[in-house]
Structure 1
Amino acid sequence: MAATSYYLGVDVGTGSARVCIIDEAGKLCAVESKETQTWNTRANFYEQSTTDIWSAICFCTKKALEQTRIDPKLIKGIGFDATCSLAVLDKDTDEPISVSWPGFGEAERNIIRELWMDHRPQEETKKINETKHNLLKYVGGGMSIEMEIPKILWLKNNMPPELFARCKFYDLADALTHIATGKETRSYCSTVCKQGYVPVGIDGSVKGWDDGFLTSIGLEGLVKNDYQQVGGISGKNGKWASAGELVGLLSEKAATDMGLCPGVKIGSGVIDAYAGWIGTVGAKVDMGGESLNENFADDALEQVYHRMAAVAGTSTCHLVMTKDPVFVPGVWGPYRDVLIQDKWLAEGGQSSTGSLLHNVLTTHPSYTAATQSAKSANQSIFDYLNLHLDRLRQDQNLPSIGHVARHMFFYGDKHGNRSPIADPNMRGSVVGLSMDSSIDDLALQYYCAMEFIAQQTRHILETMNQHGHQITSIFMSGGQCKNDLLMTLISNACGLPVCIPRYIDAAVVLGSAILGAKAASQDENGKSESLWTIMDRMSQPGRVVFPEMDEKEKRLLDVKYEIFVDMARTQQKYRSMVNEVVKA
């Protein structure tokens, strides 16, 4: 029997927009994507356009409908996710306002792109963290240069005052929801996580926003207008929602743009990594005879508190839900209400994973030769290098690939460390380089970059467990899951099973479609189905990579983990030594 309802998910990533359509069982019917434009006119400045992104979303929606031949009348709900980026619109006209410096021309450039990349507010971040304000404990002890309040403060310090006064600030997912509905709403996910908003009732919070904190850092203008520029005060001049809660209906104009019917229910949006959590941790997997998804519903959340979702793309976010708040230095959060009301979420992260591998490969002198060889063998560059590494292992009669690279030590924080060191000034280093510039050396550096990703995952995981989390499995999604060698490395380094969902590349956009299903479930009395039960129904079977128990491999990884930690500490020591001399 054909489905009577379908749900549409929208995911805006680093360089493209994606749209998927799923049916009532969570089966993926179509995924379409389109590249989006990025401006990078100076170091550490990255900008995008809501106009360009909305156009890409509409193109993908029409293509998905065309591909599936689904009647637009059967699309019952829509959910949005996006990279955590700061979008700026005119508070009176909703027209884009430029964030491009200097001059603030070219109005379409109104997004400070994906916050892990844009590092413009260095002084602002330092000023904010020097306050030592109590609310900073909810962002790992200090605001990251990647968060939105430092970006807003940078704009205030650099924009003409009359232009800043016209600005209304949105997380990108909220901006897209606003464009779709014409309604003014904010998601707890974006504001609690990235803007220093502490939900009412926590630590005496009565507004969510803290007047004293924002005044002390120079954003008193936000306070004076009851925070209208950032969404208002909940229950007074603002509306706040947890993930997937109904926040409005698709407007006539947006429906025309997208090729849909007006009135489709829209769910509160989330940051892309959080959509990945929704589309990942419900994967049905067999852990040696014990299902992880028995009774995966409101009365069985305990198992989810032990799962870490690793949502991997250009960067990787590590998400763990808990019943009660757990504070971890260098780990963002804990955040309440962002996905489920009264539940807490912590977010660790690696600033560069997929982008690190890309950088290591493309900057090596033998990259072109390797890609040509991979193409001739009809393989991806990763499959080709994985096989090349195994041939090196066999040629040297070694017990594992890790032993091939045993004397190369790679530290890969080329774009700063998000967690748990929380130091944006960390950079990469390699010990063990030779004069070799062949494909053999490329394979070794590629392997060591993967080893770094695995060891840093362990560093985040162990730090979280040391401070009160109880993580016993990793649920991973993203294109990196296709790399079996990387998945095995992460499992071995962490000593935990790595669970991989069915829709590896589409877990994030699937999570957004599930938000649409939740919004569609709300009845005339305001009651809706639990996000948990929807995830249970729509999550498909996945597979598990178990840690290999080879003792030699374990000892090698343990020793290289000690070296990894030492390299991080030594880099900070060296910088401190030089800084003292420079200051003198």
Structure 2
Amino acid sequence: MDHRAHAEAALINATKHELLQYVGGQVSLEMEIPKLLWLKKNLQSTWSKVWRAFDLPDFLTWRSTGVDTRSLCSVVCKWNYDAMNMRWSADFLNQIGLNDLCANDYEIIGQRICEPGSAVGTGLTAQAAKELSLLPGTIVGTSLIDAHAGALGMFGCRAALEASDKPLEAALENLQGKLALICGTSTCHMSLTREPCLAHGVWGPYRGAILPNYYLNEGGQSAAGILLDFIVKTHTKYADIQAKLGKNEHIYQYLNNLLEKMRLERGYDDICFLTNELHVWPDFHGNRSPIADPNLRGMISGLNMNADEESLAFLYLAFVQALAYGTRHIIDNLVEKYKRVPYSSMLFCGGLAKNSVYVQAHADICQLAAVIPDEQEMVLVGAAMLGACAANVYGNLEATSKEMGGTGVLLKPKKSTADYHNRKYRVFLQMLEDQRKYKQIMEK
């Protein structure tokens, strides 16, 4: 959500350095190198005191073991590390004005780059063990970024299938066909392939960033759960609904129930048809993927003067659908334009994974099977997998993921809504073109 480094990202992207091909053609202002450049330009007194610059998972590893290492996941996904040649690029850092980071063999940003799940040092230090109430020497695995740990956890998850679902088993087990959505405040879309896929607006391919011998592509939406919160909480009926909810009731469940009531009253076969005249482009905080334009803004078409509870339910559903159309946009960009291996399933974790309307909308709009792990804290499961791998409990990290991934609930896409969503998706894409036209008109 931190977009302060807008000018710094623009400066970096203007170089058109070859490393940028691994971040979808341009670095995001949410990544660490633009942030470091912002820090150098705006807080020089702080910059001059920097001893080490860590991504949070690497800081935690260092704090736990006293060993100064970096995870390949952290540096290749967020720090523009050259994973193809396994090195920092002095040329890149010099070109963008961060030559300071090259000093003493890159000691500020990391000299030792380790694979996720590899053991770090001799484990927990005595001090760290005391603070964590664990034993000194407890094995510590090289980290993953939190969302990437969630993806690792889900990649090994198996759908609990009924007999009629058995024909889907092979497709659901295909690792290259899985799209992991870690969906909370923002959403990360992660998938692995054996061969690299270079795609504009989608980060990667990152070699070995999650699993050895696989390339990671990472799409995303900067505002997802927080966007739904914004739309719901700024509506005039939000306070009234909150006031009448019970202690254990949640407003999104209330709205989901209201949508079902509205569907029945109008005689629709599915709640999706309620938004026939209401369309949303959801980039209120810019577009991370696949457009990679932080200057894009949100759009709503089809508003009226109603301000009752039903008007909130309409808006809420339209925004949920818009996020799912955004996911389809990422998928189509990778598969149709850049010839990625086709997807066969999606897996969900995070706060939005608990919302059945959100998950079913994704399944229907993308026409892909959706799997919700029984264990929803898959980021923690992924972190546990790193420790198990470091301790060599199950062997390598891919085997560990399969052993510890558990099972999940399968939601199948509804074929009956496919045509409707195809038409709404055409409107979705047209809204992007319209916004571009509006900007062209105003820039003249």
Mapped to 2, the partners of 1:449 and 1:529 lie a distance apart of: 43
Cα displacement (A) at 1:374: 3.4
SS in 1 for 2:272: helix
Higher percent of residues as helix = 2
Partner of 1:268: 142
Partner of 2:196: 325
Mapped to 2, the partners of 1:303 and 1:410 lie a distance apart of: 33
Partner of 1:112: none
Aligned: 1:149 with 2:33: yes
Deviations 1:39-93 (A, max 9, x none): xxxxxxxxxxxxxxxxxxxxxxxxxxxxxxxxxxxxxxxxxxxxxxxxxxxxxxx
Aligned: 1:217 with 2:96: yes
Partner of 1:241: 114
Partner of 1:565: 429
Mapped to 1, the partners of 2:47 and 2:223 lie a distance apart of: 34
Partner of 1:277: 151
Map 1:23-172 → 2, pairs under 5 A: 117-160=1-44, 163-164=47-48, 166-172=50-56
5+ residue gaps in structure 2?
none
SS in 2 for 1:491: helix
One-letter amino acid of the structure 2 residue matched with residue 267 of structure 1: G
Aligned: 1:434 with 2:304: yes
Query: Cα RMSD over matched residues?
Result: 1.9
Mapped to 2, the partners of 1:520 and 1:537 lie a distance apart of: 14
SS in 2 for 1:224: helix
Alignment check: 8 A CA contact 1:293 1:536 kept: no
Deviations 1:330-370 (A, max 9, x none): 00000012122232111011111111111111111101122
Cα displacement (A) at 1:163: 4.0
Partner of 1:381: 251
Q: TM-score, normalised by structure 1?
A: 0.72
Aligned: 1:531 with 2:397: yes
Cα displacement (A) at 1:162: 7.5
Mapped to 2, the partners of 1:460 and 1:163 lie a distance apart of: 37
Alignment check: 8 A CA contact 2:202 2:290 kept: yes
Higher percent of residues as strand = 1
Mapped to 2, the partners of 1:438 and 1:577 lie a distance apart of: 35
Mapped to 2, the partners of 1:220 and 1:576 lie a distance apart of: 38
Alignment check: 8 A CA contact 2:40 2:47 kept: no
Aligned residues: 438
Cα displacement (A) at 1:559: 1.1
Aligned: 1:494 with 2:366: yes
Mapped to 1, the partners of 2:283 and 2:335 lie a distance apart of: 22
Partner of 2:175: 304
Question: Structure 1 stretch 149-158 or stretch 281-290: which is displaced more?
Answer: 281-290
5+ residue gaps in structure 1?
1-116, 232-237, 297-301, 523-527
SS in 1 for 2:217: strand
Mapped to 1, the partners of 2:89 and 2:398 lie a distance apart of: 32
Mapped to 1, the partners of 2:265 and 2:250 lie a distance apart of: 23
Mapped to 1, the partners of 2:229 and 2:19 lie a distance apart of: 37
Q: Percent identity?
A: 37
Aligned: 1:347 with 2:211: no
One-letter amino acid of the structure 2 residue matched with residue 158 of structure 1: N
Cα displacement (A) at 1:394: 1.7
One-letter amino acid of the structure 2 residue matched with residue 472 of structure 1: S
Mapped to 2, the partners of 1:564 and 1:124 lie a distance apart of: 31
Mapped to 2, the partners of 1:316 and 1:291 lie a distance apart of: 26
Deviations 1:509-536 (A, max 9, x none): 11111111111228xxxxx811122122
Partner of 2:109: 230
Mapped to 1, the partners of 2:44 and 2:25 lie a distance apart of: 32
Alignment check: 8 A CA contact 1:285 1:293 kept: no
1:475 alignment partner, one of 325, 347, 361? 347
Partner of 1:334: 205
Cα displacement (A) at 1:284: 1.6
Mapped to 2, the partners of 1:514 and 1:459 lie a distance apart of: 31
Cα displacement (A) at 1:292: 4.3
Deviations 1:81-125 (A, max 9, x none): xxxxxxxxxxxxxxxxxxxxxxxxxxxxxxxxxxxx111111111
Mapped to 1, the partners of 2:368 and 2:168 lie a distance apart of: 16
Map 1:401-412 → 2, pairs under 5 A: 401-412=271-282
Mapped to 1, the partners of 2:329 and 2:278 lie a distance apart of: 19
Deviations 1:528-563 (A, max 9, x none): 81112212222222111101121xx22221111111
Mapped to 2, the partners of 1:157 and 1:121 lie a distance apart of: 10
Cα displacement (A) at 1:213: 1.5
Alignment check: 8 A CA contact 2:156 2:403 kept: no
Q: TM-score, normalised by structure 2?
A: 0.94
One-letter amino acid of the structure 2 residue matched with residue 239 of structure 1: R
One-letter amino acid of the structure 2 residue matched with residue 385 of structure 1: L
Aligned: 1:454 with 2:327: no
Partner of 1:178: 62
One-letter amino acid of the structure 2 residue matched with residue 226 of structure 1: D
Alignment check: 8 A CA contact 2:116 2:386 kept: yes
Partner of 1:548: 414
Alignment check: 8 A CA contact 2:39 2:47 kept: no
Cα displacement (A) at 1:499: 1.0
Partner of 1:113: none
Mapped to 2, the partners of 1:158 and 1:168 lie a distance apart of: 18
